[in-house]
Structure 1
Amino acid sequence: MPVRLLRDERGATAVEFGIIALPFFAIIAAILETAFCFFAGQILDSAVTDAGRLIRTGQAQQQNMDLAAFKTQVCNRLYAFFSCSGLSLDVKTSTSFGAADLSTPKDKDGNFDPSKFAYQNTHGSEIVVVRAYYLYPLIFTGFGLNMADQSGNKRLMSGIAVFRNEPFPW
């Protein structure tokens, strides 16, 4: 009988899974979080590009769009991944493509600072920079897998479009 107990391996699989379960689920969570971040970033970038086309073609100027109206246009293209209240937009002209400001505005502590954002009405043939930022809340931040780059376990997502307006006459 004692020899038989030493060879009993019926619970070995459960014990082995118990040992690797936590790292396994942590890796799965990290993969999902990374996938959601990339997907959300692509949605934001696509929304900025699509809404920026309204400025590029002169439709925004003809409709006298302001920041709120343009923000609505961007938000309509964001689906359910974003809350429009957390979206920050900046639309400005630039003297050249090389002089376009593509930097992320941060305060002295490295936190996102949209205080100087504005919506500038543009004219035909001007170079325009449209920047959109969103503080995306992260869910899985434990086990050293935190992708947050802002306080409050949030990651700053950005979508930027730089283009020359079509030569519309208005």
Structure 2
Amino acid sequence: MRSFGHVRRCRRDESGAAAIEFALLSPIFLVILCAWTEVGLCLLMESALDNAARDASRLIRTGTATEATFKAAVCAKASPAIPCASITYNVQSASSFASLSVIAVSSTGTLSSTGFAAGSSGSDMLVQAAYSKPAFFSSLLKAAGFSGNILIMTTLAFQNESY
């Protein structure tokens, strides 16, 4: 009988329960916190790249862009959030939007082809800018089946002004 009383006392003893609960839940909390941080950084970079591409596209729209001025305008707006040397872009022009095609992403996580064709007055344009961001928490992404890089990309379609 005496041993049953000891068991009852052990069941009521809750010392150390908080430490065990923390040990069980803290890894899950840390993974969620890391994922939120990664998503937040990606959204910041996406916004910076999108705004940079929009502002630089204004040079194309007005007929004042060269490849060097376009790249300089994108880099000026995207930095310091995105390293300039890592931004890839593809600028296409055509007489109709149906003739333009979105460039696919390569296996390395960048645009499969790049180029710059500013078009002429009234041309239909497609501008794509991309950045392959190395993930801070790449081991978590690899465990989830990703390659460890996150592609941040923006695409703009517009028609050049008459100039």
Structure with greater proportional helix content = 2
1:42 Cα shift? 2.1
> Does structure 2 retain, via aligned residues, the 8 Å contact 1:30–1:145?
no
Task: Assess, with a 3 A threshold, how the Cα gap between structure 1 residues 144 and 69 changes in structure 2: closer, same or farther.
Answer: closer
| Aligned counterpart, 1:165 | 160
Match of 1:42 among 41, 44, 47: 47
Q: Check 1:148–1:163 CA distance in 2 against 1; reply closer, same or farther (3 A cut).
A: farther
Moved more, 80-89 or 3-12: 3-12
Count of paired positions? 158
Secondary structure at the residue paired with 2:35?
helix
TM, length-normalised to structure 1: 0.79
Specify the structure having the higher radius of gyration (Cα): 2
Counterpart of 1:134 in structure 2: which amino acid? Y
CA distance in 2, matches of 1:78, 1:154: 19
Give structure 2 stretches of 5+ with no counterpart.
Answer: 1-5
Structure 2 vs 1, CA of residues 156 and 164 (structure 1 numbering), >3 Å: closer, same or farther? same
Instruction: Give the number of the structure with larger relative contact order, counting CA–CA contacts within 8 Å between residues 6 or more apart.
Output: 1
Q: What is the percent sequence identity of the aligned residues?
A: 29
The amino acid across from 1:77 in the alignment is: K
Q: Equivalent residue for 1:119? A: 116
Q: Which residue identity lines up with residue 19 of structure 2 in the other structure?
A: A
TM-score with structure 2 setting the length: 0.82
Please say if 1:83 is aligned against 2:80.
no
Give the one of 59, 83, 86 matched to 2:64: 59
Shift of 1:20: 0.8
Match of 2:149 among 129, 141, 154: 154
User: What is the RMSD computed on CA atoms of the aligned residues?
Assistant: 2.5
